[in-house]
Amino acid sequence: MEQKPVKRLNRELKHEGNILKIYEDTVDANGHLAHWDFIHHNGAAAVVPVTKSGKLLMVRQYRNALDRYTLEIPAGALDSPDEPKLDCAHRELEEETGYKTDKEKLEYLLSVNTTVAFCDEAIDIFVARELEPSKQNLDEDEYIEVEEWEVSDLEQKIYRGEITDGKTIAAILAYARKYGVK
């Protein structure tokens, strides 16, 4: 099937929040005028922190959009659109888990676009080893519990539908596959 071009005719900012900009795009889609929602996000970084014993450090935190606590890998938004994602990952590791490592020891694992139908958020995910205790540095409105988990137990939580965060699922499964962890 031949793909017909989609042409954006207009983009209008409808709302600007703390981390998102919401637009209405007017497009010519296959010869039809359409209005599509578009959400811009400056990007984020995440970390798979691996302890000396091979367990993963996970964070449990409340997520307003789901109205529940979730178990995730540590992650956070870029402080500015031009912040290197490696710097963001390095910062978020210590802020959320209370552990740190040298920035040079963070290894790129993969990139994830979280919601391709209407949002351009892109998250780079890194693996952190040789962790050293430090201290959490949470935002005033954050409460995060740090937990150690075996990869196999996290995989089971994914397959039972108990972990539903896309970046976390991708990171755990990619980490397990890349490094042969069971």
Residue 123 maps to a domain: yes
Asked if residue 170 and residue 101 are part of one domain, the reply reads yes
- 63 and 13 assigned to the same domain: no
In-domain check, residue 73:
yes
Q: Answer yes or no: 140 catalytic.
A: yes
Q: What pLDDT does 19 receive?
A: 85
Q: Which two three-digit tokens encode residue 180?
A: 């042969």
What is the tally of structural domains in the chain? 2
Residues 49 and 31 in one domain: no
Residues 66 and 109 in one domain: yes
Q: Are residues 80 and 103 in the same domain?
A: yes
Q: Residue 47 is part of a domain; what is its CATH number?
A: 3.90.79.10
Question: What pLDDT does 167 receive?
Answer: 98
Residue 34 sits in the same domain as residue 94: no
In a domain, 14, yes or no: yes
Looking at the domain assignment, is residue 1 inside a domain?
Answer: no
My answer on whether 93 and 81 are in the same domain is: yes
Question: In this structure, are 15 and 102 located in the same domain?
Answer: no
Bridging pattern class, strands 44-49 and 75-77: antiparallel
Residue-level length of the chain: 182
For 34, 68, 70, 102, 126, the CA distances from 112, given in Å and listed in that order, are 27, 23, 19, 24, 11
Q: What is the pLDDT of residue 31?
A: 86
pLDDT at 182: 79
Relative to beta strand 56-63, strand 68-72 is antiparallel
pLDDT value for 1: 65
For residues 75 and 172, give the distance between their C-alpha atoms in angstroms, rounded to a whole number: 14
The answer for residues whose C-beta is within 8 angstroms of residue 119's C-beta and 6 or more apart is: 38, 39, 40, 41
Token duo for residue 159: 């397959």
* Distance between start and end Cα atoms, the chain: 42
For 33, the 3-state DSSP assignment is strand
Tens of pLDDT, residue by residue over 128-156, are 999 999 999 888 888 899 999 999 999 99
Q: What is the DSSP letter of 18?
A: S
CB 121 within 8 A of CB 114: yes
In a shared domain, residues 28 and 48:
no
pLDDT (tens digit, 0 to 9) for every residue of the chain, 182 residues total?
A: 677 789 999 999 999 998 899 999 999 988 899 999 999 999 999 999 999 999 999 999 999 999 999 999 999 999 999 999 999 999 999 999 999 999 999 999 999 999 999 999 999 999 999 999 999 988 888 889 999 999 999 999 999 999 999 999 999 999 999 999 87
The pLDDT value recorded for residue 18 is: 87
> Does a structural domain hold residue 12?
yes
Residue 171 and residue 129 share a domain: yes
pLDDT of residue 5: 85
- Whether 43 and 78 have beta carbons less than 8 Å apart is answered as yes
Q: Is residue 142 part of a domain?
A: yes
User: 121, 140, 155, 162: which is the annotated catalytic residue?
Assistant: 140
Q: Could you tell me the residue range of the domain that residue 26 belongs to?
A: 6-40
Do 64 and 32 belong to one domain?
Answer: no
Q: Are residues 83 and 27 in the same domain?
A: no
pLDDT at 26: 97
* Residue 95 and residue 138 in contact, taking contact as beta carbons nearer than 8 Å: yes
